[in-house]
Amino acid sequence: MVENGARHPLASTDQLCILRSSGGRGLKSVESEYKLIKIKAAVKLCANTDPTLKLVREFEERAVDKGRRPMLKDASGFAGELGIELELEHPEPVGWTEEGELIDKKKIEMFAKKALYTKLAALEELYQQLLPTKVYSTRKAKTSGDSDVRCRLCGKGQESVAHVLAGCSALAQTAYLTRHNAFKILFFELLRDRGLVNTVPPWYRVNKPIYEGEKVTAYWDIPVFADQTEVRANRIDGRIGDKARKTVTLLEMSCPWVDNRDHKDEEKMIKYAPLRLELKRQYPGFNIIQYNIIIDVLGGYSKDLKKSVRELVGSERSTAVLGRMQKSVVSSSLKIFESHELKTSS
């Protein structure tokens, strides 16, 4: 399907698994079903008062201590992707919605199912670019007699999917920044590898600007100050100085529109050239390496990024880390769309 252009290359498989009743292609995703089953099983295990199941629970708890990823942890992760935070305590497991609403153990499965299908249907719409932007309603559906296709938020660009997701000045300062959550996923993996954190926390909870170890210091969105030379673009998303390896790793994330992915890399290299020079001066003998983490707004990325992530976290974890980043970018795009709709319909 990818070859025929029916799918966005490298896109998530989620879009293929929408139920026919939601207007999708009716292919059931084994992966999604598997996730729902895991959530259901975890809740059941925690709610069960049968003493024989106590052993299974204890085994699960020990496995967590040893750092393996058993069922309970997986189930929490899957539920998290659907916006449900699980508290898998025996004998009363509960869930919390993002709005802080308590979900009874009996209703967790239903909530998860609903969240999954809502998300899949929205994703499908996004991929097909059929979301109700003005350009769509005037040009494609011909439902609107209004020929003014200017963006209802900023009043400047044409209100296309590309504009809303990557080019609207009214959304640039806040909404687009949520995409950096994807970057945090990678950043925390790197912090853990270097012993600066013990666990990778849920990205939305922790954000310290500086992490200091004996040999390694990591900076999150902190400007580099230069004494003499003028370095205007001095604020890069992440920077890790490693005295043992004699390297400074620079990391910059961006989420351009699909067509602009290739230019972004060059643009970022040029933008931070003076910063690399300044760091070369501040860290004599160090190797300054810049990685541009470019994932387009629909979740596509290049072979170069695959290679970069392999270099950064190792080949074993790179696919999983990239997958999580991709999901995060796509769900941010969905949220941006929702907020655009909300702002323009009020």
Helix axes 30-47, 71-81, angle to 10 degrees: 120
Q: Which is nearer to Zn ion, 20 or 343 (CB)?
A: 343
The least CB distance from residue 156 to Zn ion, in Å, is 6
The least CB distance from residue 173 to Zn ion, in Å, is 12
Q: Which is nearer to Zn ion, 72 or 168 (CB)?
A: 168
Q: Closest by alpha carbon to 127, among 253, 1, 28, 6?
A: 6
* CA–CA distance, 197 with 247 (Å, rounded to integer): 20
Phi/psi class of residue 143: alpha, beta or left (left: φ > 0; alpha: ψ in -120 to 50)? alpha
Buried residues in 74-98 as b, exposed as e (16+ CB within 10 A): bbbbbbebbbbebebeeeebbbeee
Cβ neighbours around 268 below 10 Å, total:
21
The least CB distance from residue 199 to Zn ion, in Å, is 40
Amino acid present at 55 = L
* CA–CA distance, 6 with 299 (Å, rounded to integer): 15
Amino acid present at 307 = K
Q: Which is nearer to Zn ion, 199 or 346 (CB)?
A: 346
* CA–CA distance, 283 with 269 (Å, rounded to integer): 19
Q: Which is nearer to Zn ion, 168 or 191 (CB)?
A: 168
Peptide bond preceding 91 in cis form (omega within 30 of 0): yes
Q: Which is nearer to Zn ion, 48 or 344 (CB)?
A: 344
Q: Which is nearer to Zn ion, 307 or 343 (CB)?
A: 343
The least CB distance from residue 339 to Zn ion, in Å, is 12
Q: Which is nearer to Zn ion, 82 or 151 (CB)?
A: 151
**Bridge partners for 294 per DSSP:** 254
The least CB distance from residue 264 to Zn ion, in Å, is 20
Residue with tokens 């040999």: 215
The least CB distance from residue 340 to Zn ion, in Å, is 8
Q: Is 273 helix (H, G, I), strand (E, B) or coil?
A: helix
Tokens of 86: 């699980």
The least CB distance from residue 138 to Zn ion, in Å, is 16
* CA–CA distance, 290 with 311 (Å, rounded to integer): 12
Q: What share of the chain is helix, strand, coil (3-state, %, to 5)?
A: 50, 10, 35
Q: Which is nearer to Zn ion, 160 or 308 (CB)?
A: 160
The least CB distance from residue 134 to Zn ion, in Å, is 10
Footprint on this chain of Zn ion (rule: CB under 5 A): 151, 153-154, 168
Tokens of 189: 């993996």
